[in-house]
Structure 1
């Protein structure tokens, strides 16, 4: 199948202003993410942005960027505009959405998101990891996947929530916000109106489930660091510095 990796990026972060351009070991954070996306070997990598400064930085480091509108509500809306601009003929079959604030994500983790799409019944694929820290089980900032096991490393998503769920004995899973969409599924998704549960939980993926779309989840071994605060940024610098020395 033909794959396109799209990395949405904008400059509106309030907790860490200018986040995509923050320096990480001599490279902007958005470039670090693009480097790792390219290393996954899945195909063409493009940063979709509404900021000229981001596009300039990405291109200066040998990556591709496409300009998009400034009024998008979400990253999925932005990548759909980018897809239609970059692939007018409709050749791309799978679109992979990699968040631009995951500078330590492993290329193998990005590649893992394609595995659920081996089943033709799956519309959207995403990732999760088993929660091992007790405090994360009750943390509303840690989004949980509630799903039916399909295999040792695969769930069929039934729900996503900020609450502690499901109850009872057994593992809980931390959702990783990286998605692979079949082209038709992405087109359908962005044309749906925000759903009731999506607005209540503030989780966009619930829109797809409420519309009857199938999301399967690959279980991976580690959660990539999401950079949202200055403290996260320092931690990412430490992680990347250690990797460079290894």
Structure 2
């Protein structure tokens, strides 16, 4: 089980550059906690919200709309923007979808750091969630797709079907406006991902208007790469990305 403390929202004040980190569908802030702590140790102000309907009971996600998830990260972004001169946004899976929408709605987003961002699902049955939600409330979990043994992202043991339907509504909205995104992007994608298809990252790279896109392939991690064997690569490369974007010296590796 994930550390209960890490499943709660996390905020830490640092310098004038902020980073908002969003966890994924049915997951919890635990998936982003170590990354956020590493960023804070390097001097950044960080915020990791707990998305509505998450880290409580899976039934809550069946009465939560995708706009509730977005409104949560949007509020966090606005708060950080008041505190910081520039704000970057990081997201895992659905958190990546929300990060993309923030960049669509807020042209002042300084940059995106995406880990296996989602615009679709590997499971073809997920497309039927709009009908299945009237038949079954939940199916088997999509959480904890992690190669490294003994690691837990604090995901639900079941996947709420109505929540999946909301996820598809979010994806449709985000995909329709990807061309509005112009900020620099670093995109981490796992070579083996059992949850999100590679076509999601392909679509993002193809459809955004950003002139600076860096792709990093993670060869030794599954979907929740922020907790997997390649997490140090994510931490190090994201710090390099932030340093390059802010003209700050990159911190030395531990």
TM range (shorter): 0.3 to 0.5
Higher RCO (CA-CA < 8 Å; seq separation 6+): 1
* Higher relative helix content: 2
* Higher relative strand content: 1
TM norm structure 2:
0.33
TM norm structure 1:
0.34
